[in-house]
Structure 1
Amino acid sequence: MPATPYLIPLHRVGSPDIGYITSTQYAENIPFLIKRVFWTQATPPGVERGHHANLATEEVLVALSGSINVLTDTGREKQAFELTNPQQGLYIPAMCWTELHFSEGATALCLTSTDFSEEDYIRDYKRFRQLAAHIAL
């Protein structure tokens, strides 16, 4: 059965006096080996990002600053998540359509299981639904 998106706690150390460090040091929380790290910033309010699924790539998405509203669709289930805490990541499995809405000033960090490949992307929602229905059988 295909995986479902879920929230992952990230390890944090420090105090209000000196600040905090959040890391993936305890990698058992991340369900894949991290191959690529990228971030998205300066997305104008009202611009939607995402609008794709990946055939093979798994991701963990973290709102480093601001908030990100994420709509996910696995073809079986749709869920909404609000990322507002940099100590929490959203696991996005392969074959999961996403739509992202950024608050003003939001920065998103993304950890992925693969290097970038345009061939891995499904950018047509109708094609995604067809593929997802086939996988669910």
Structure 2
Amino acid sequence: MKESPQILELPKIMDKRGNLSFFEHPKQLPFEIARTYWIYDVPGGEKRGGHAFKEQQEFIVALSGSFDVHLHDGQVERIYSLNRSYYGLYVPKMYWRSLENFSTNALALIVSDRPFDELDYIRDFEDFKNAKLTAYV
């Protein structure tokens, strides 16, 4: 079965003192978390990402503010707008990704199933497209 990106709705516990959301493996996440990082203070007009992972999977949540996640499968690009802290985007391996259109004070939380490994990155889009083609031949 081919894995596809998808928006996952997270539990939302409503309370007059403030709401709470969370995610756990395996209930909400399809992988165990090995690394967590966040992106913030992105100047207007800047983009983050611009790469693909050979093996790493990610889950991206807009904890505050909003931003767009552009995902490309080698043939088609799709844009996911994240702006609620109780929705997250599951990104399987081998999708070219970039984060764009950050609002003021946006905070992107990213969790992945692998520790940082520079060798897992594909940083050239043409190399990425070629890798996708050879994977299906």
Asked if TM exceeds 0.5, the reply is yes
Q: Select the structure that is richer in strand.
A: 1
* 2:113 aligned residue: 113
> Aligned Cα RMSD in Å?
1.4
Distance 1:44 1:27 in 2: 35
With over 3 angstroms needed to count, the CA separation of the structure-2 counterparts of 1:69 and 1:99, relative to structure 1, is: same
Distance 2:126 2:98 in 1: 15
TM-score (norm 2): 0.93
Give the number of equivalent residue pairs.
136
Task: Report matched runs for 1:77-92 at 5 Å.
Answer: 77-92=76-91
* 1:61 aligned residue: 60
Identity of aligned residues (%): 33
Distance 2:32 2:73 in 1: 22
The C-alpha deviation readout for 1:43-81, integer Å capped at 9, x for no partner, is 111001110000110000000111111110112432111
Distance 1:69 1:36 in 2: 22
Paired residues of 2:25 and 2:31 also in contact (CA < 8 A): no
Q: Which amino acid aligns with 1:82?
A: S
With over 3 angstroms needed to count, the CA separation of the structure-2 counterparts of 1:81 and 1:91, relative to structure 1, is: same
Distance 1:45 1:2 in 2: 35
Task: Report matched runs for 1:3-82 at 5 Å.
Answer: 3-15=3-15, 17-25=16-24, 27-82=26-81
Q: Which amino acid aligns with 1:8?
A: L
Paired residues of 1:4 and 1:74 also in contact (CA < 8 A): no
Identify unmatched segments of 5+ residues in structure 1: none
Distance 1:25 1:69 in 2: 24
The C-alpha deviation readout for 1:8-55, integer Å capped at 9, x for no partner, is 11112132x110111114632211111111111101110011100001
